[in-house]
Structure 1
């Protein structure tokens, strides 16, 4: 079975380019809402730092990949995978450590986990030599 891992990873990064503004806007608004809410959020500054670390890692991933993909494809993919692991760590913090977690936050984070794990999967396959494209010229 021939899988074009480079194309799949490129499509996922392109999808992330359009998903990121929605995700970043909603996460920022929800963090600000938790800061000003009646509900007790004892570690709001730590939660906010994790959210903004996640947003900065995703933004860096998108910008660096788009900048480096033409001249250094494998390095751009490796950097994107490493920054995706930062995002996954922040997402798991949001799922298991952060309290309280809003339902909309759980939904957005679930979608982001799906997107990030498929990026890691296809990005790792793209780096493996057995899945490299064969150029016959």
Structure 2
């Protein structure tokens, strides 16, 4: 008997785990930004306001993405999942900024941002599989 992987269950597990991981990620990133603001020299201080604003933007978009993804998955509606997919683009770009383009990147930030990007990519793939499963016509009973 072939086993069928339930993509919505996998998506729900990923979203549930990401809600906790992203909370830890945001707190660590906020702490590291505070430490960098206190310890850095003047050329990077001008960009610290931008980095704090970008972190708040990332918290808002990732929180909305997680909420919409879980809501769409539990109600089996495609529109919230589709909006979550759209929100994954700015969320991944902000994470890439913290990984590559900020003034000083700590090794811990590199590790945390890399894990966040892997989780984002896997959720994106599974969410597309969920959309396909939700909108696929039911197979006729034999």
1:98 corresponds to which residue? Answer: 102
SS of equivalent to 2:99: helix
Give the TM-score, by structure 2 length.
0.80
Query: What is the alpha-carbon root mean square deviation over aligned residues?
Result: 2.7
1:116 corresponds to which residue? Answer: 120
CA distance in 1, matches of 2:23, 2:99: 21
How far has the Cα of 1:10 moved from its partner?
1.2
Answer whether contact 1:81 1:123 (CA < 8 A) is retained: yes
Cα distance change on mapping 1:76 and 1:136 into 2, 3 Å: farther
The yes-or-no answer on 1:52 pairing with 2:89 is no
Q: Flag structure 2 segments of 5+ consecutive residues without an equivalent.
A: none
Please identify runs of 4+ aligned residues in structure 1 that moved more than 6 A.
none
CA distance in 2, matches of 1:12, 1:133: 25
Answer whether contact 2:11 2:127 (CA < 8 A) is retained: yes
Q: Flag structure 1 segments of 5+ consecutive residues without an equivalent.
A: none
2:35 to 33, 39, 44: 33
Higher relative helix content? 2
Tell which deviates more after alignment, 37-46 or 109-118: 37-46
How far has the Cα of 1:130 moved from its partner?
8.9
1:16 corresponds to which residue? Answer: 18
Cα-to-partner distance string for 1:47-68 (whole Å, 9 max, x where unaligned): 2222221111111222334445
